[in-house]
């Protein structure tokens, strides 16, 4: 039995993954309004029937996409964590990672969804609880990476501010390449966090 079922399950997972990735590319490039499940199926090289089996509506693809998106950001953070130095230079590396988190194509896709959700209640109802969960996890990983004690006064807010700053820098990088300016902000923000978090580590 297992020999028959496993490849099927794996095929199904691959199909699902390809559809989600095609959806993210499509949302990022053409926005919510330019995208249909049928169009995403074609892009993914998957039959329309199979696509609709996995994702009956665009909203279902959004749930899966935001989940994948959030999870890959968290995974990326964790993967980089292995190479982190200890000591003071650790904070600068973590700040760099977090402030670069929202400058890629995944953030572009998310922004397209957010801007539509701002005027579309159905999409907003789907996105808000998802974003809250992804946000909480990003927060927890950042606390871990910084190695700070969140029960100390002010630590939670400074970690939140770092993630919010990251999203703001993602916005600033949307229409132009903001890498150089961001690099200087990373350095200064790291210095600031070192100062404020010195006795929370």
Chain positions contacting a second copy, by CB under 8 A? 28-31, 33-34, 108, 111-112, 114-119, 124, 127-128, 131, 154, 157-158, 160-161, 163-172, 174-176, 181, 184-185, 187-189, 191-192, 195-196
Measured distance CA(198)–CA(150) in Å, rounded: 13
With residues binned 3-state (H G I as helix, E B as strand, rest as coil), the percentages for the chain, rounded to 5, are: 80, 0, 20
- Please, what's the b/e burial string for 40-66 (b: 16 or more CB within 10 A of its CB; e: otherwise)? bbebbebeeebbeebbeebeebbbbbb
In the complex, the smallest distance separating the C-beta of residue 65 from a second copy, rounded to whole angstroms, is: 16
Instruction: Give me the least distance between CB of 132 and a second copy, in Å please.
Output: 8
Between 6 and 125, whose beta carbon lies closer to a second copy? 125
**Rounded-to-integer distance, Cα 84 and Cα 69, Å:** 23
User: Residue 6 Cβ, how far from a second copy at the closest point, in Å?
Assistant: 40
At its nearest, how many Å lie between a second copy and the CB of residue 59? Answer: 15
- Which of 73/112 has CB closer to a second copy? 112
What number of CA atoms fall less than 13 Å from residue 108's CA on the CB side? 16
Residue whose CB is less far from a second copy, 57 or 174: 174
Integer Rg of the chain from CA: 19
Between 46 and 159, CB nearer to a second copy? 159
């Amino acid at each position: 039995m297992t020999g028959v079922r496993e490849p099927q399950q794996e095929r199904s997972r691959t199909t699902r993954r390809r559809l989600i990735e095609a959806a993210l590319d499509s949302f990022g490039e053409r926005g919510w309004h330019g995208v249909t499940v049928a169009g995403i199926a074609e892009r993914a090289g998957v039959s329309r029937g199979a696509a609709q089996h996995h994702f009956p509506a665009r909203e279902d693809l959004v749930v899966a996409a935001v989940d994948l998106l959030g999870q890959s950001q968290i995974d990326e953070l964790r993967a980089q964590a292995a190479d982190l130095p200890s000591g003071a230079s650790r904070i600068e590396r973590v700040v760099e990672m977090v402030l670069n988190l929202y400058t890629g194509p995944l953030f572009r896709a998310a922004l397209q969804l957010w801007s539509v959700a701002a005027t579309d209640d159905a999409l907003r109802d789907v996105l808000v609880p998802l974003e809250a969960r992804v946000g909480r996890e990003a927060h927890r990983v950042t606390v871990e990476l910084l190695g700070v004690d969140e029960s100390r006064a002010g630590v939670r807010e400074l970690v939140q501010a770092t993630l919010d700053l990251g999203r703001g820098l993602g916005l600033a990088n949307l229409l132009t390449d903001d890498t150089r300016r961001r690099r200087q902000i990373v350095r200064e923000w790291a210095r600031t966090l070192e100062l404020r978090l010195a006795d929370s580590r």
